[in-house]
Structure 1
Amino acid sequence: MAKPTDHLWMHFTRMSSFRDGEVPTIVRGEGSYVWDDKGRRYLDGIAGLFTVNAGHGRTELAEAAAKQAAELAYFPIWGVAHPTAIELSERIASLTPGDLNRVFFTTGGSEAVETAWKLARAYFRKTGRPGKHKVISRYLAYHGTTMGALSITGLPAIKADFEPLVTGGVKTANTNIYRAPVHGDDPEAFGVWAADEIARAIEREGADTVAAVFLEPVQNAGGCFPPPPGYFQRVREICDRYDVLLVSDEVICAWGRLGDWFGALRYGYQPDIITTAKALTSGYSPLGATIASDRLIEPFLRDGVAFLHGITFGGHPVSSAVALANLDLIAREDLNGHVRANEGAFRATLEKLHDLPIVGDVRGDGYFYGIELVKDKTTRETFDDAESERLLRGFLSDALFEAGLYCRADDRGDPVVQLAPPLTAGQAEFDEMERILRSVLTEAYARI
């Protein structure tokens, strides 16, 4: 009898791990929980993959998909349109900050990031500045896996097998104040320093070669780095000074994850482009988008000019219908307000773990948190590669899952556990997360 891994090639997975063992197989979801094929229940601590914001088992989203598929299952938006793509683009534009009114649909986050870089390059070429082609992004930041998005990504380990990549990706400091090289005790000064590192990178490369700066509102990889006070306002000033586009990569941070429609609204800054995906449909159907300011489409409105880029399933009718139903649901149940009302309780519950010797830092905003693990709390000494391997892959990932919590134990940077539950979660789910984490992390420390 064939094993699941005889044919299924799982993503970001060491396939050898399942050579002789069973593959965890999730078959059902309801609210903040999922069940496997053996009937075991798990608390979904990262909303699938920072995606199922509305929670599992929302039949109205499935019904929206079925209704649309019966009416018009597929048609491209290459020179034609269909009603759900039109309506969804209008809805998104009504929610974005400022004049981000132009919505280019994709099927996922990597494609949205790829589209944003291509648009930035094409825009400057069409406006007489073809030398502006580079992108500034931050160390450890994850922006996707297509070749362009991977070049923007700041994680060396996941790029090595695919080099040489697209040229022009330049990395600068992130906002991990827990490991700040300067101003670690002064968030505002640290924010000024981190933003000015972007300016210094632009100056080193030459402003006439830099097209865009790509930043997540809260950086995911490395373990949820929120922006220091004033950071994005200063970055906006820097981008204006050097005529560089500011791209807010909100593949994770949009649609309520931080308690607002977009992270840019949460932190009060105006991007030129927003990239998004994941929770636009709460994961019920694949869809992403690159949302651009009005000025960026202007060169492409001239006679005989086109943005020569497209994706077969971008703006898919079924996915667009699901997204509309999802946005209706988020608004009707005020999930943004629910996150804002409960984020303090979420933080306070996770901060109880500070009494464990292995917990160095608890950080994040909204429903998006990282817990950094350390070998020594006093010195903030981290684990070496071999220790991280034993800690995360050798124990934590499996132990947390076995204890009933699906979350991410990640060593792309210093070891962290990441938590981003469905936006419907409340104190009962927070307490369950804390209880499981306390038990497993206590055992983990005993093992090291």
Structure 2
Amino acid sequence: MTIKPDMTTDGVLTADTHLIQSFADLNLLKQDGARTVIVGAEGSMVRDSEGNELIDGIGGLWCVNVGHGRKEIIDAIAQQLNQLDFYSTFYNFTHPTAAALAEKIASLAPGPLNKVYFANSGSVANDSAIRILHHYNNRLGRPKKKKILSRIGAYHGSTHLSIAMTTPAYSDGWDHAEGLVHHLKSPHFWREGDGMTEAEFCDSLVQDLKDTIENIGAENIATFIAEPVQGAGGVVMAPDGYHRRMAAVCEDYDIKYIADEVVTAFGRLGHFFASQDIFGYTPDIITTAKGLTSGYQPLSATIVSDEIHEVISRPGGMFLHGMTYSGHPAAAAAGLANIALMEKEQIPERVRTTGKLFENTLKGLSDLHIVGEVRGSHFMMGIEFVKDKATKQGFAPEDAIGLKLARAAQKRGLIARPLGNILILSPTLILTEQQIGQIGNILRDSIEEVTRSL
């Protein structure tokens, strides 16, 4: 696919001297040529400032689900801006597009999750979920019920609160909200389940939850937050039945369950929402972003149950939480057009086939010498590399194995995301079978090249 020129690159590199980039080695970025400058995109492809056309193997950042350059979404945004460029959803003001999107999301969400609060990122969606639950418990006369249970390996955002819920490795050298969060054991069976069957490992994780609740006291715990599949913590899938059992324990102890579906919602695993349709549990809150607009506008949603909303909307109190751009008209229009496109083209249904092909293609790399584990589901995959398959010994940080592999893949026309000893793939959901095969070949060639250089 040839990407049409859509902008000049004049001044791009100069401007980057003033730009602080997210999750980057800012000292390394001072070097010439350290950045890849993306200047155009269409479908599953992007083009860099050197004219190279690359498969977008990370889907922007887990988010460009319907692919780049979809005119239906672009036109919907432009039409909305021409009709109503901005009005807030503060106080008693609202507008039809935000209301329509909230109604649509509620129709897709499982069970009694019918109330939607909009913000502009997954981090803020998770912050909002916690603030809402704290307020909920205050209104019920339970001011001590505020603690949060998360997990080693979790990623829930990078604001001061959401980074506290994220696995501690992401806080190295940085402060975060103290005293609120307790991290449960990692659900990564391949790394943590030595000497146990998967079922026994799942039993140990459920027992860890029960022991933690008994130690802290259920009267002090507001919520357990968990991604159906851990994303930026390494694409880790918990053992079969884990989420159902953890949700049942939380219900027994009157602890709310937050499903962080910032990545897994809107088709990435083959359904609009993964929690109920794939993993068999209905949470009390779902947070989502990314695929909600396929990245065409910044938008997130915190979807809460009718029961929670009934408490926080009782007479005698204000909902003292809000952002200027909550439910922005253009973002809401993008969300509606994105969902309509997914339904029209049956993208989630297609992912159940093409996503499985992608998953199996990557798992076919397991025969390579340094491939320790290929894990994930559908279009959400991670490959972990090891020095020794028998001992699962990883590479040292200075080996920069993930970065070397990402560079080798990019040289061959594929963008993949390095994360220590892991390479993450989260492409657009519209890949063809030919492109999936091409990705598999690029990865195999890249891994073999890097292996020879070690």
Task: Report the TM-score when normalising by structure 2.
Answer: 0.94
Of the three residues 44, 62, 68, the one matched with 2:56 is 44
Q: Distance in 1 between matches of 2:385 and 2:185?
A: 21
Matched, 1:160 2:160: no
Find runs of 4+ consecutive structure 1 residues off by over 4 angstroms. Answer: none
| Paired residues of 1:195 and 1:232 also in contact (CA < 8 A) | no
Q: What aligned pairs does 1:85-234 form with structure 2 within 5 A after superposition?
A: 85-156=98-169, 158-163=170-175, 165-182=177-194, 184=196, 186-234=197-245
Give the secondary-structure state (helix, strand or coil) at the position aligned to 2:117: strand
Q: How far off is 1:366 after superposition?
A: 2.1
Q: How far off is 1:138 after superposition?
A: 0.8
Q: Distance in 2 between matches of 1:160 and 1:198?
A: 25
Q: How far off is 1:435 after superposition?
A: 1.2
RMSD: 1.5
Q: What does residue 348 of structure 1 align with?
A: 360
Deviations 1:402-421 (A, max 9, x none): 2211111102xxx2111111
Going from structure 1 to structure 2, the CA distance change for 1:382 and 1:258 (only over 3 Å counts) comes to same
Q: How far off is 1:4 after superposition?
A: 3.5
Give ranges in structure 2 of 5+ residues lacking alignment: 1-10
Q: Distance in 2 between matches of 1:61 and 1:166?
A: 41
Give the secondary-structure state (helix, strand or coil) at the position aligned to 1:312: coil
Q: How far off is 1:182 after superposition?
A: 4.7
| Paired residues of 2:163 and 2:176 also in contact (CA < 8 A) | no
Matched, 1:318 2:327: no
Matched, 1:427 2:439: no
Q: What does residue 37 of structure 2 align with?
A: 25
Give the secondary-structure state (helix, strand or coil) at the position aligned to 1:212: strand
Q: Distance in 1 between matches of 2:247 and 2:36?
A: 44
Give the secondary-structure state (helix, strand or coil) at the position aligned to 2:157: coil
Which residue type is aligned with residue 193 of structure 1? S
Matched, 1:7 2:18: yes
Q: What does residue 403 of structure 1 align with?
A: 412
| Paired residues of 2:150 and 2:165 also in contact (CA < 8 A) | yes
Deviations 1:10-68 (A, max 9, x none): 11111232323223111111111101122210001110100000001101100000000
Q: What does residue 361 of structure 1 align with?
A: 373
Of the three residues 222, 227, 250, the one matched with 2:261 is 250
| Paired residues of 2:155 and 2:233 also in contact (CA < 8 A) | no
Give the secondary-structure state (helix, strand or coil) at the position aligned to 2:278: helix
Q: How far off is 1:9 after superposition?
A: 1.4
Q: What aligned pairs does 1:279-428 form with structure 2 within 5 A after superposition?
A: 279-387=291-399, 390-393=400-403, 395-411=404-420, 415-428=421-434
Give the secondary-structure state (helix, strand or coil) at the position aligned to 1:144: coil
Deviations 1:73-122 (A, max 9, x none): 11110121100010000000000110000100011100000001111111
Q: Distance in 1 between matches of 2:315 and 2:135?
A: 16
| Paired residues of 1:102 and 1:294 also in contact (CA < 8 A) | yes
Q: What does residue 447 of structure 1 align with?
A: 453
Which residue type is aligned with residue 101 of structure 2? L
Deviations 1:188-226 (A, max 9, x none): 332232233222222221111110000000011332112
Q: Distance in 1 between matches of 2:201 and 2:436?
A: 31
Q: Distance in 2 between matches of 1:257 and 1:8?
A: 30
| Paired residues of 2:402 and 2:423 also in contact (CA < 8 A) | no
Q: What does residue 59 of structure 1 align with?
A: 71
Q: Distance in 2 between matches of 1:7 and 1:385?
A: 29
Q: How far off is 1:164 after superposition?
A: 5.0
Q: How far off is 1:183 after superposition?
A: 5.7
| Paired residues of 1:249 and 1:275 also in contact (CA < 8 A) | yes
Matched, 1:278 2:290: yes
| Paired residues of 2:164 and 2:176 also in contact (CA < 8 A) | no
Q: Distance in 1 between matches of 2:349 and 2:137?
A: 39
Q: How far off is 1:378 after superposition?
A: 1.8
Q: Distance in 2 between matches of 1:225 and 1:317?
A: 35
| Paired residues of 2:155 and 2:166 also in contact (CA < 8 A) | yes
- Percent of matched pairs sharing the same residue: 38
Give the secondary-structure state (helix, strand or coil) at the position aligned to 1:15: coil
Q: Distance in 2 between matches of 1:10 and 1:183?
A: 42
Deviations 1:378-437 (A, max 9, x none): 2211123333xx3234x22322222211111102xxx21111111111321211111111
Q: What does residue 436 of structure 1 align with?
A: 442
Q: What does residue 6 of structure 2 align with?
A: none
| Paired residues of 1:108 and 1:288 also in contact (CA < 8 A) | yes
| Paired residues of 2:20 and 2:26 also in contact (CA < 8 A) | yes
Give the secondary-structure state (helix, strand or coil) at the position aligned to 1:161: coil
Q: Distance in 2 between matches of 1:298 and 1:349?
A: 47
Q: Aligned pairs, how many?
A: 440
Q: Distance in 2 between matches of 1:75 and 1:54?
A: 27
Q: Distance in 1 between matches of 2:188 and 2:278?
A: 19
Q: Distance in 2 between matches of 1:17 and 1:396?
A: 18
| Paired residues of 1:192 and 1:234 also in contact (CA < 8 A) | no
Higher deviation after alignment, 327-336 or 189-198:
189-198
Which residue type is aligned with residue 88 of structure 1? L
